[in-house]
Amino acid sequence: MFPFYLSHLRQAPYFIPGALGFHRSPHPIPILSRKLMSTATTRSNLSLPPPESDIPIFTTVASYREWRRKAFIENRSVGFVPTMGALHEGHLGLVRRSLSENDLTVLSIFVNPAQFAPHEDLETYPRTLERDLKVLAEQQVVASNSDMSSNSIPTLDSNQVKRPSAVFLPSVREMYPGGIEQEIVKQRGTFVEVTAYGEQMEGKSRPGFFRGVATVVTKLFNVIQPTNAYFGQKDIQQALLLRHMVTDLLLSHPSPDHLHIVPTARDPSDNLALSSRNAYLSPAGRKVAPTLYAALKAAEECWLAGERDRGGKNKNKKECVEIARALVERRIEEARDHGLDVEITLDYIEMNDAGTFEILDDSDTRSSRGNEAAPVILSGAMWVDRTRLIDNLLLGDFGTVVR
């Protein structure tokens, strides 16, 4: 953990001219509003002034671009961490990684309506803006001149304390000037789809989700113009899909090699993947939430350890997934036996090729794929009451994926 020195921060201005489908839920969430442009209740959607912050805040594309133009002129590298807010240590780890590798670091906070289905939790998604800005201002790294980018302007100090440089906090109207509907059939305008990469894993459970993600991230990349962008492995399909998108659209800010995927941040006590939606969990729900990770680890052990059945054959994909499913079932029974007031519902556990996203054949084994094959994404999703959790592990040589 890096030391925090709030006393060294000075007050900076904020600028006001004039953070990511369908899935089946065992507990449908009430729809509070679908008229996003007229009835949304978030601070940014109502264009209310943001809270005071030690970091410059930009609420419009025009004001941010003026700031970015100066960074271009000064040859400053810009790192970017897109978020939907409700920041946790996973987000902050991405921020610190950016601080250590770039001259300037920008974080966006935008709850993107295009990636929520009408029955999903857009209205109730955690929004903690004042807290987010406070913890963001506390982030810092000490970087020597040798850590700065090759285009950086030299400084007189041998070491430099680096803190977040800006927050992009747009409204829905700013990001979707023509308006946005949550139902895809009602949407009008320009949207981005990465075909053949968004229908598996999360895409199967949440049709249309990645259309919303690809669209908003394309917009954000166009506005922020980052040298480097940082995403967490927890959303591995999203991150790899965006890497494909950046490649196909010939984007230079960031280039594919500068879209970084950082290992999943976990609770050190039980390895639960950190997520903004963990705030939804009840005490009983929080207790059973690590079940998904335990199930994935069981499948990983089956796949990597070369476990052999009585016939002397390596366990195949089908058998490893069944081992994971069986563990979830046991945890459900244990929760019931211990009188925990919680409902666990497994959505899916699957194994996909990290290069193509294609589902592995049931008969595939680690040895049958060979050493030259792409890594395997072992992923899953699970409902704990009304909270949907996701997680994944990468099997094989994943150095080209997470970097």
pLDDT in tens, 239-254: 999 999 999 999 999 9
pLDDT, residue 160, reads 83
Structure tokens, 133: 């800005």
Domain(s) labelled CATH 3.40.50.620 in the chain stretch across 6-262
CA neighbours closer than 13 Å in the CB half-sphere of residue 231:
24
With residue 236 as reference, give the H or E element that holds it.
helix 236-248
DSSP state of 314: B
Q: What is the CATH architecture of 6-262?
A: 3-Layer(aba) Sandwich (3.40)
CA dihedral 173, 177, 178, 181 (to 10 degrees): -40
Amino acid letter, residue 17:
P
- At 361 the pLDDT is 97
DSSP 305: T
Strands 376-384 and 166-168: unpaired
Q: Where along the chain do the CATH 3.30.1300.10 domains lie? A: 276-395
Mean pLDDT for 214-242 is 98
Choose the weakest-confidence range: 58-72, 86-100, 122-136, 278-292. Answer: 122-136
**DSSP secondary structure of 240-291:** HHHHHHHHHTT--TT-GGGEEEEPPPB-TTT-PBP-GGGGG--HHHHHHTTH
Q: How confident is the model at residue 323 (pLDDT cuts 50, 70, 90)?
A: very high
Q: Is 91 a catalytic residue?
A: yes
Helix and strand counts by DSSP (H, E) for the chain: 12, 12
Place of tokens 């899935």: 23
Instruction: Give the pLDDT mean for 20-34.
Output: 35
Distance CA 241, CA 218 (A): 12
**Residue from 23, 88, 91, 258 carrying the catalytic annotation:** 91
Would you identify the CATH topology of the domain 276-395? Pantoate--beta-alanine Ligase; Chain: A,domain 2 (3.30.1300)
pLDDT at 226: 99
| Mean pLDDT comparison of 40-54, 184-198, 324-338, 356-370, highest-scoring range | 324-338
DSSP lists the bridge partners of residue 345 as: 383
